[in-house]
A and B are shown apart, each in its own frame.
Chain A
């Protein structure tokens, strides 16, 4: 089945130690998104790719970076994780920006110790 896959599902990292979260999709969608969701809060868009065009939200900290080497894969790099970065990180895709809905991966829950 076509889907959005995130690895790992659970990630523990140390304060200040760089960490990379992965997302892959078999839907062949041209738009990929990264959201941060903290407990009892709305998913917050960090950035998205429209094909290779990168769009960073104005309030996304510089600590967060992203790479999209090809259509199928997208990575979220957190250069120096702080305790406040502990959250669920959701990857999503859509067929164009006018697509009817976004398809979400299962998420990666990040713990910072």
Chain B
């Protein structure tokens, strides 16, 4: 089985930095994704980690520690348009194929 935990809601100020944490327990781990989802819209891909360490892409960075079952998404220079849900998703080997399981998402509100 698998279990993915992330905070339900967060609030941060425009221009600030926010870190969204994700912990997971799973067997057959094979990568972790972060997706952004605006209300009523489809998720869009932000980042992918399969090895330990930090992946940086513009204002967004994602970190993974496989031994700790832990990841975070770091958003810098927050903008109002960053208000959205951020979904942590874990890929695992399951029954001969690879399956991605999503966390419930962290709803981020950026305030002026």
Contacts and interface: CB of A to CB of B under 8 A. Distances in A.
A33 B30 CA distance: 18
Chain B contact surface mostly: strand
A105 to B, nearest CB: 6
Interface residues of A, number: 21
Given A90-B42, A106-B42, A101 B33 contact: yes
Nearest to A100: B48
Interface in B18-76: 33, 40-45, 48
Interface residues of B, number: 20
B110 interface: no
A41 B104 CA distance: 5
B42 A42 contact: no
B97 A101 contact: no
Nearest to B99: A45
Interface of B: 4, 33, 40-45, 48, 87, 97-105, 107
Interface of A: 40-45, 50, 55, 88, 90, 97-98, 100-107, 109
